Amino acid sequence: QVQLVESGGGLVQAGGSLRVSCAVSGSTFSSYDMAWFRQAPGKEREFVAAVNWYGTRTYYSDSVKGRFTISRDNAKSTVYLQMNSLKPEDTAVYYCAARPRSSRLLEDKYAYWGQGTQVTVSS
C-alpha cells in the first residue's frame, strides 16, 4: 500500500516562497507518476502540477505556471513543489497524489493521496 506524507506547509507573505515535500513509502516510488492538488476553503480540489515517473515530463495548471516547479528525487522517494511569487489566492491545503505510471494525461486519475499540508499566504 502506497503511503504519502506531506510536509513543509506554513504561513508566508505574499510574494514569498515555500517548498512543500511529499515522502512516499510502501512501494517502488519510481513506478509512479506524482502530482500536487490543492483545495481552498469552500472550493473544490484542483490540480496544480504533475511529473511523470521518470521526471522527464511535467504539467502545470495555468494559475501556477511560471511560479511553481514540481520535481522529484527517486533516490529519496520524494516529490517537491517549489512555490515562488506566492499570492493570497494560493492559500489552500496542498495534497500529494500518486498513480501507477501511465500514458494518460498527467492531470488525470490519481489513486493514492496524502493527508495534506496547509499553505497560507498573507496579503
By residue count, the chain amounts to 123
| Spatial contact of 81 and 4, defined as CB atoms under 8 Å apart | no
pLDDT at 121 over 90: yes
Q: What is the per-residue pLDDT across 96-115, written as a single tens digit (0 to 9) for each?
A: 999 999 888 888 899 999 99
Instruction: Give the pLDDT score at 1.
Output: 84
Q: What is the per-residue pLDDT across 26-39, written as a single tens digit (0 to 9) for each?
A: 889 999 999 999 99
Instruction: Give the pLDDT score at 104.
Output: 86
| Spatial contact of 82 and 60, defined as CB atoms under 8 Å apart | no
Q: What is the per-residue pLDDT across 46-87, written as a single tens digit (0 to 9) for each?
A: 999 999 999 999 999 999 999 999 999 999 999 999 999 999
Cα angle 31, 37, 41 (rounded to 5 degrees) comes to 155
